[in-house]
A and B are shown apart, each in its own frame.
Chain A
Amino acid sequence: MSLAAPLLRSAPSTKAASRKPARPWPNWLVSWLQVGPLALVLLFMFVMPLIFVVVVSFFDYERVQIYPAFLLDNYAEIFTSAVTGRLYLKTLEYAAIVEAITLVLGFFVAYYLTFHVRTLRWRIILMLACTIPFFTSNVIRMISWIPFLGRNGILNDAVMATHLVNQPLDFLLFSDFAVILAYVHIFTLMMVAPIVNSMSKIDRSLIAAARDAGANEWMIVRDIILPLSKTGMALGSVLVLTQVMGDYYIVRVLSGGKSAGVVSGIATQLNAFEYPPAAASSVVLLVIVLALVIGIFSIVDVRKELAE
């Protein structure tokens, strides 16, 4: 195997080398032409707007106008305002709770789908079933929580019918509970998919060997499946955390506007035409989210997962 591998690998390259003179263009040009379209799209639609946001974050402004300048005021305001801390704390609180719940839920859903659903057909059917809520728009899904959780909603009617409480439960809607419930509902699937992907790569003979050696179900999960699904969990966490950190719509609708995250703050500033401070807040948020993602990737080597 170790001898054959380099031989096998060298075979196509010699073939390519022999074909080389037939190509009218040099290799570097071909490579550039291949990456060019995507590079251009990223450059114009991602890098340039981002640079623009960074530049504007130093501008001066008044109602309906912005003035080119180089001011640190917008940043100074972010770091000195009590609101910033509060918004970040709230957002991080949501992110941490949602991350914890979706990670546990996602892991066990994925575990069930991969190891306990025997046939591939059923695995696919159940996986698709998970996506059914996503057939309708995010907006409708969020709005639908209101008649369900409201004071005169379905859930409260049911609870009242049991006579366990004599007043509708107010905490169900327009509360942190409602916001977290909605996040978990939407983002669990983002955790499930990458973990399923990781788990399906686990060699079944490992589990058979463990079982032969006397390991019980729990030990298999803890010592084999959990460590080997880390990359999926990391990828899922990145998806969930960035989504929660970037949300403002769900938090607004389901907290009834009583709670706000970092992006809610940015949205309010944009609505009030305060582009430069909104740009500065965006830059700060971007840096923090990037730090989080880098943090996650430094714990788990995702490249290994993607390379395989």
Chain B
Amino acid sequence: MADISVDQESGPSRRALLKGGAAAAGLAVGSGAITGFPTIWAQNIKDITLAHVGQSFSVIPQIAAQASKDLGFKIDMQAVDYATQLNRTFTQPESIDISDLSINVVPDLIKQGIGMPVPTSKYKWWDKTVPIFTKGEYPDGKKASVQGGAPIKFQYYADKDGTKLSATPTEWLASIPTLYNADTLGIRPDLVGHKIDSWAELINPQFKGKASLVDEADIGILDAAMALEAAGQMKYADKGNMTKAEIDKTIAALIELKKSGQFRSFWQNFDQSVSLMASGEVVIQSMWSPAVTEVRTRGIACEFVPLKEGYRGWGVTLVPMKHLSGLKLDAAMDYLNWYNSGWQGAFIARQGYYSTVPETAKAMLEPYEWDYWYEGKPAAQDIKDPFGKMMEKAGNKRDGGALWDRMGNVAVWNCLMDEQRYLTKRWNEFISA
């Protein structure tokens, strides 16, 4: 499938930055500049290239350029869409060194035996990682929701060969979690007309022809389920792992909504969600945090609105692939340690994502940025997005408040259900209905 993203607004500038970044990387490689991070001193390290493949929200040229500069070898970041990512990971694992995946995909890696277990001793940030990943709980000791694909379910291997997962901590990590967030609905506060505080608003007839849903079965079904449950139309034992009967009822309700003209459109990628919202075709929809910041940088009001039923949580993780060995494996470990050492965490914080090692990100953020993004305090100065564009005026607060106000209120995690195959089939029926 050729998923085409056209980012007309920011394309040229990002491309220019990429070029600059590549030049900087080239320079760094050429001069063998090493700035403290690498623990490998072999001369041929500069010939190493690591292929890091992921989606556009985490695979960003600036991060690759900085990593290449700091590490002294080349990070080749390749942004692909979700389906291509999975396709390549599973059918051509050798073409990828580091796969940047949703945490809930890890069980599939085990079936294929393509992920490399990482000993906790080799990853230096594990004891500083937020406990939703290390223990499945919040910093105050409260257990995190386990509806859907909670990260703790996929975090540890039972043994060093990585043949099965362990629900309790071991010394073998299945992957290195990097960023996470709690998703909710995006709205146009200037066009919705009243206060939005429930997922039920997505299916409120008042927004007939002005609502949109993400067209990705695994995620779209969860947003729909949150809305249907909030509106009192459905009850689920576990939204994150529906039975066939629950899927049937959900899809039937969705088809009815579609027939009534509730949805203006369905979106499949970041750019579509931005243009739907920015153009005012849609006033309420499934959305991602960077898409909300992107709409705002255009001077258009857009809010990632906190809802009383809670958020849909998710996490992204780096999986070193099993074919890595020797110097390349050492380089991959250096890269994983670099990745959560702060620069990347600070960068993605500015598009609304959280680092799994917040204290390293904090060191690289300006105090006013930390206060705005992590603490939910009013912005002491104007807030810029990672690409330097104006995002928020001084004095305003981030939607949803502080880190744990948001992450502490996750109702369900992105997941792959046991009835995945059936869900895909029924979702297709909904889209074609």
**Cβ-defined contact, B87 with A151, below 8 A:** no
Chain B 409-433 interface residues, beta-carbon cutoff 8 Å to A: 416, 420-421, 424-425, 427-429, 431-433
Q: Is B161 positioned at the interface, with any CB of A under 8 Å from its CB?
A: no
Q: Is B265 positioned at the interface, with any CB of A under 8 Å from its CB?
A: yes
**Cβ-defined contact, A139 with B429, below 8 A:** no
Encode A72-116 as 1/0 by CB contact (under 8 A) with B.
Answer: 000000000111001100100000000000000000000000000
Cβ of B87: which chain A residues have Cβ within 8 Å of it? 273
**Cβ-defined contact, B86 with A256, below 8 A:** no
Size of B's binding interface in residues, CB under 8 A:
38
- Out of B264, B421, B432, name the residue touching A90 (CB < 8 Å): B432
Q: In the complex, what residue of chain B is closest to A265 when comparing beta carbons?
A: B428
CA distance A63 to B109 in the complex (A): 11
CA distance A257 to B275 in the complex (A): 14
Cβ of A150: which chain B residues have Cβ within 8 Å of it? 279, 281
**Cβ-defined contact, B431 with A268, below 8 A:** yes
- Out of A64, A81, A143, name the residue touching B90 (CB < 8 Å): A64
Shortest B148–chain A CB gap in Å is: 17
- Out of B268, B421, B431, name the residue touching A274 (CB < 8 Å): B421
Given the interface pairs A256-B266, A265-B432, the reply to whether A173 lies near B421 with Cβ below 8 Å is: no
Q: In the complex, what residue of chain B is closest to A140 when comparing beta carbons?
A: B6
**Cβ-defined contact, A258 with B424, below 8 A:** no
Shortest B80–chain A CB gap in Å is: 12
CA distance A274 to B217 in the complex (A): 14
Cβ of B6: which chain A residues have Cβ within 8 Å of it? 139-140, 143
Encode A170-214 as 1/0 by CB contact (under 8 A) with B.
Answer: 100110000000000000000000000000000000000000000
- Out of B416, B424, B432, name the residue touching A260 (CB < 8 Å): B432
Shortest B206–chain A CB gap in Å is: 16
CA distance A68 to B348 in the complex (A): 44
Shortest A199–chain B CB gap in Å is: 36
Size of A's binding interface in residues, CB under 8 A:
38
Given the interface pairs A152-B279, A258-B263, A260-B431, the reply to whether A271 lies near B1 with Cβ below 8 Å is: yes
CA distance A271 to B209 in the complex (A): 27
Cβ of B420: which chain A residues have Cβ within 8 Å of it? 63, 272
Of residues A81, A83, A257, A269, which shows the largest number of chain B Cβ atoms within 10 Å of its Cβ?
A: A257
Q: Is B10 positioned at the interface, with any CB of A under 8 Å from its CB?
A: no
Shortest B252–chain A CB gap in Å is: 13
CA distance A268 to B215 in the complex (A): 10
Shortest B62–chain A CB gap in Å is: 25
Q: Is B112 positioned at the interface, with any CB of A under 8 Å from its CB?
A: yes
CA distance A200 to B258 in the complex (A): 50
Q: Is A10 positioned at the interface, with any CB of B under 8 Å from its CB?
A: no
**Cβ-defined contact, A257 with B432, below 8 A:** no
**Cβ-defined contact, B268 with A62, below 8 A:** no
**Cβ-defined contact, A257 with B266, below 8 A:** yes
Encode A48-68 as 1/0 by CB contact (under 8 A) with B.
Answer: 000000000000001111000
Chain B 92-138 interface residues, beta-carbon cutoff 8 Å to A: 108, 111-112
Q: Is B2 positioned at the interface, with any CB of A under 8 Å from its CB?
A: yes
CA distance A170 to B265 in the complex (A): 12
CA distance A63 to B106 in the complex (A): 13
Shortest A133–chain B CB gap in Å is: 17
**Cβ-defined contact, A82 with B111, below 8 A:** no
Encode A13-47 as 1/0 by CB contact (under 8 A) with B.
Answer: 00000000000000000000000000000000000
Q: List 9 A-B contacts (CB under 8 A).
A: A63-B421, A64-B108, A82-B429, A257-B268, A260-B431, A269-B424, A270-B1, A271-B1, A274-B421
